[in-house]
Amino acid sequence: MKILYPILSALGFSASVVPAQAQFYLGGLNNDNNAGIVSYYTDSAIVPPSGSYTAVNGAMTIHGGKHLHIDGPYTAGSGSIDSLVGDGSASWPPTDAIKTISGSIAPTLAIAAFTNGVGQAVDITNTNGVNIATSLYFGNGLTTTVRSNSNTGALRFLDNAVYTNASSGDAQYVNGYVSKIGNDAFTFPVGSQAGNDLRTLQISAPGTATDHISIAYWSGDASSGMDPTSTGTQSLTALNPTGTAGVDRLFSVSPLCFWDWIAISGTSSLSITVSLPGFSGNGGYTNAANMRLTGWNTNTLQWDNLSGNTGASGLAEGSTLSGTVPDISLYSAIAIGNVQEVPLPVNITSFTGNMDNSCNARLTWETARELNVAEFAIQYSADGRQFTNAGTVAPGHSGTGTYTLTLSDIPHGKAFFRLMVKDRDGSIAYDSRVLQLQSNCEGAAAIALWPNPAKDAVTVSGMYGRHTIAVLDINGRPLRTVVTDNSREQIDIRHLSDGTYLLRITNNSNNEVIYRKMVKQQ
């Protein structure tokens, strides 16, 4: 690789001045850019662990290459500018292109400008995210972070940091996590994972400069295990039956969307306002006055009404709904609730079940009336309180029917099952009966690992409820950790060298730990 020793200058920068073009590589070098201009236009910019980069006093760093990879300290302060432009071509101005910020050390940028082209993505894959100290100008399309890395890999705005030019709606937002540190009012420019729906969440000013909140918007059902940072299983029917004056009782929580709420530090009380997707005709949410902002309380494991008796501004997309979070540390998700009771779209006449001697549960239910049913689902719980989806069945569309679902590898002990019904309009309701069965299957025997040996991926099955799976090397050091609510989880092992590993599988509901040996080979 070529080495560019940054030439520091006080030259003005304009379209008629093309900076020197080379690869920006700092290997074992500590470089300071004091009020100068550094640029690269080919290949990647690389700051390895043995190098560092510091920019001060209004210095400009022009990232013309497609990749900015940072494994060593990278700090830009004192009004310094980092501009992500172009595609790495030799022409000026460079043409539009996707940009990637990768690596393992979060760069701290004072004034950042994503100017790689309207409609072009800036993909943040750095495992520790990106820090913005002063301001960020959005001159691009979508900005993405790695959702599975939640707040650690977020686009992070430090105390007093702001962003500008986020005005293109569904074409320009952060698809992933945005974090805010400090005591400033802030609007999180977040949107859906599909890349076509901006849904902001606005907070009032926190109480201290050290308060730290991370937010991502998700299209979908928080109770389905989609929320990667939830505490407890976010059942749509775990509703706080508050009797407080002026606080209406919740009857349901919409499965259409939620905002993952991660309070990293602080206990401030905040006012929050969210931008709604379109709700007209969806799941019984036909009256804006009946809608309430809800929060998943991590202490009570229930949805709280955060809006009191105040509804939404409307049902159309872009309408707003406000509420108050009494303590930011109490909640792990924000969603949309309803104080109007929505009836089941089906008449369930019976719901029965039994266990066999092979760790299998056989569940059967009968219907006398079906109207617009999209799906039946059986949910499982080890304690009768926190449920997770275990299997689904499509309706017969004949108006009546008898249905059976067999679930395998039910862990030893009490097993609770309930029936969930999903309407075609997205609403969800539950049969009031909860079945309690007894499984004699040993927990360790229920956990299966296959294929083994494995080449690209290994599947862990037989889990019910939330589990944490850690891949360990022969010395017991964790190489990768996955948290899952699924009964089966596929673990990508392509990055591992051939050899023997251990999988440590922890049942988060009772802290039972099971180990399985895994062999990786080509």
Tens digits of residue pLDDT in 101-151: 999 999 999 999 999 988 899 999 999 999 999 999 999 999 999 998 999
| Res. 57: pLDDT tops 70 | yes
Q: Which residues contact 14 (CB under 8 A, 6 or more apart)?
A: none
Please state, in angstroms and rounded to a whole number, the distance separating the CA atoms of residues 180 and 273.
16
Is the preceding peptide bond at 453 cis, omega within 30 degrees of 0?
A: yes
Residue 414 is predicted with a pLDDT of: 82
pTM listed for this prediction: 0.68
Which pLDDT tens digit goes with each residue over 206-234? 999 999 999 999 998 777 667 777 776 66
When pLDDT is averaged across residues 82-97 and rounded to a whole number, the result is 75
Please state, in angstroms and rounded to a whole number, the distance separating the CA atoms of residues 25 and 1.
8
Please state, in angstroms and rounded to a whole number, the distance separating the CA atoms of residues 201 and 322.
10
DSSP for 324-340, please give it. EES-GGGEEEEEEEESS
Please state, in angstroms and rounded to a whole number, the distance separating the CA atoms of residues 338 and 324.
16
Longest dimension (CA), the chain: 81
Residue 289 is predicted with a pLDDT of: 93
More confident call, 224 vs 251 = 251
More confident call, 11 vs 39 = 39
Pure H helices in 344-433: none
Please state, in angstroms and rounded to a whole number, the distance separating the CA atoms of residues 493 and 143.
28
Please state, in angstroms and rounded to a whole number, the distance separating the CA atoms of residues 321 and 291.
8
Which pLDDT tens digit goes with each residue over 422-439? 877 666 777 778 899 988
Burial of 220 (0-12, 13-18, 19+ CB in 10 A): middle
Q: What is residue 495's DSSP assignment?
A: T
Determine how β-strand 401-407 pairs with β-strand 361-370: antiparallel
Task: Identify the band that residue 397 occupies on the pLDDT scale cut at 50, 70 and 90.
Answer: low
Q: Which residue has the tokens 């449920």?
A: 387
Strand order in the sheet with 24-25: 24-25, 44-47, 67-70, 99-103, 122-124, 143-145, 174-175
Cβ contact 177:152 at 8 Å:
no
Could you give the percent of the chain with pLDDT greater than 90? 44
| Res. 444: pLDDT tops 60 | no
- What per-residue string of b and e applies to 474-491 under the rule 16 or more CB within 10 Å gives b? eeeeeeeebbbbbbebeb
| Res. 91: pLDDT tops 70 | no
> Which tokens hold the place of 494?
């392509």
| Res. 11: pLDDT tops 50 | no
When pLDDT is averaged across residues 281-300 and rounded to a whole number, the result is 84
Cβ contact 170:185 at 8 Å:
no
Please state, in angstroms and rounded to a whole number, the distance separating the CA atoms of residues 76 and 56.
6
Q: Which domains does the chain have, with CATH numbers?
A: 1-141 (no CATH), 199-342 (no CATH), 346-439 (2.60.40.10), 447-520 (2.60.40.1220)
When pLDDT is averaged across residues 12-16 and rounded to a whole number, the result is 33
Is the preceding peptide bond at 451 cis, omega within 30 degrees of 0?
A: yes
Phi, psi for residue 270 in degrees, rounded to 5:
-130, 150
Rounded to the nearest integer, the mean pLDDT of the chain is 84
Q: Which residues contact 511 (CB under 8 A, 6 or more apart)?
A: none
Please state, in angstroms and rounded to a whole number, the distance separating the CA atoms of residues 512 and 505.
8
Please state, in angstroms and rounded to a whole number, the distance separating the CA atoms of residues 271 and 214.
16
Cβ contact 423:414 at 8 Å:
no
Strand order in the sheet with 467-472: 478-484, 467-472, 499-507, 513-520
Residue 180 is predicted with a pLDDT of: 98
Please state, in angstroms and rounded to a whole number, the distance separating the CA atoms of residues 158 and 309.
35
Cβ contact 394:421 at 8 Å:
no
| Res. 175: pLDDT tops 80 | yes
Please state, in angstroms and rounded to a whole number, the distance separating the CA atoms of residues 204 and 187.
9
Residue 5 is predicted with a pLDDT of: 29
